[in-house]
Amino acid sequence: MATLTCNLPEELLVEILSRLAPESLMRLKCASKSWYVFIKNLVKDPKFVAKHLQNSMSSTYMIFSGNHYCDCNVRTPKCSEVMFSLLDVFCGDNADGQICVVTEDLSSLRIPINSYLSEYVWRYHCNGIFCLVDSCNYAYAIILCNPAINEFKLLPKPSHVCRSPGVGFGYDSGTNDYKVVVFGYDNLKRFTAEVYSLNTHSWREIVFGLDVDCMPDSPTTVYLKGVFYWLSWKRIILSFDMCSEVRHSILMPGDGGSPSASVWTSLTLWNESVTLIYSSKGDFYGGGGLLVPTD
């Protein structure tokens, strides 16, 4: 560790820093050269990252992303950017229990869309890390970014998959690794699947075992407790375990089990459970929600 102008024991200092908001933690790099080195090494320590993540689970911060477009006549990469905003939700001081929201633009992290992505970007997130995927570029452009520390990484292209309706992103707690899974077709129109490991910075082919007519038909996806979920054409919910790298299929419960039973379906999270939202055929407002069995 670098020598700091701080009289606190290192264990206590690390404990305090693990409770700071990410942007406050990164501002300490500007205090001095020694602080810069200390924080730079600290945020790369897996134990500190895990501790900071655990402490932040109870925070009220939310991160939103969106595309920003300028009105200038000269088109440059900066004319279209993916931008992020940080929202802090808290109760006000008044007795009426009013909810207050403070918004902060994370303007230091702007990803030029035209440089890497088209204007149609799928967004996935896990533990504060975003996975941005170009939904139109079959040559693949996938970016991992952490708005809290103002960093992003352009991933190498998959080795075999060149056209894919299926993309997932999540965390493998067993190996302390973040993974991206893609499945679809290679140049010879054969089905294939690959997993990218952030630890090894490489793709590798995996066995996925999926029928062609069970491909995902919606960008609506959810991630919960190490498992990623998609809706398929056959009204089947596909799941992929980031730890075991095993794919499962779940029949939609109730009215969602038949393609003709609903005209619109979507997956969401509710009370730490995967939930299927659907509308009954012929009545968009007459739908409901069903908990999806995940055990």
Domain segments of the chain: what residues?
A: 10-53, 156-295
The whole-angstrom separation of Cα 241 and Cα 243 is 6
Read off the pLDDT band of 39 (50, 70, 90): confident
164 contacts: CB under 8 Å, gap ≥ 6:
138, 140, 158, 182, 183, 184, 185
Output 84 or 33, whichever has higher pLDDT.
33
pLDDT given for residue 256 in this prediction: 46
CA 258 to chain centre: 30
b/e per residue 173-193 (b: at least 16 CB within 10 A): eeeebbbbbbbbbbeeeeebb
pLDDT given for residue 123 in this prediction: 75
Output 191 or 203, whichever has higher pLDDT.
203
Provide, rounded to the nearest whole percent, the portion of the chain with pLDDT above 70: 59
Q: State mean pLDDT over 99-105.
A: 53
14 backbone φψ class: left, alpha, beta (φ>0; ψ -120 to 50): alpha
Indicate if the alpha-carbon torsion angle 147, 148, 151, 153 is positive or negative: negative
Highest mean pLDDT: which of 1-5, 138-142, 228-232?
Answer: 228-232
- Per residue in 110-135, pLDDT (tens digit) is 555 455 555 556 778 888 788 888 76
Which range (14-18, 26-30, 218-222, 262-266) has the least confidence?
A: 262-266
What is the bridge-based pairing of β-strands 111-112 and 61-69?
Answer: unpaired
pLDDT given for residue 196 in this prediction: 95
Are 110 and 97 in contact by the 8 Å Cβ rule? The answer is: no
- Mean pLDDT value across the chain: 73
Residue 195: pLDDT above 90? yes
The whole-angstrom separation of Cα 289 and Cα 265 is 9
- Give the chain's length: 295
pLDDT given for residue 108 in this prediction: 47
Are 153 and 144 in contact by the 8 Å Cβ rule? The answer is: yes
The closest of 217, 214, 213, 212 to 264, measured between CA atoms, is 217
Residue 135 DSSP symbol = S
pLDDT given for residue 241 in this prediction: 94
Strand partners, 181: 168, 195
pLDDT given for residue 89 in this prediction: 54
Highest mean pLDDT: which of 100-114, 179-193, 263-277?
Answer: 179-193
What is the bridge-based pairing of β-strands 247-251 and 236-241?
Answer: antiparallel
pLDDT given for residue 18 in this prediction: 84
Residue 254: pLDDT above 60? no
- Per residue in 49-66, pLDDT (tens digit) is 778 777 766 555 555 555
pLDDT given for residue 180 in this prediction: 94
pLDDT given for residue 198 in this prediction: 92
Residue 212 DSSP symbol = G
In this structure, how many other beta carbons lie within 10 angstroms of the beta carbon of residue 277?
17
- Per residue in 163-181, pLDDT (tens digit) is 666 889 999 989 989 999 9
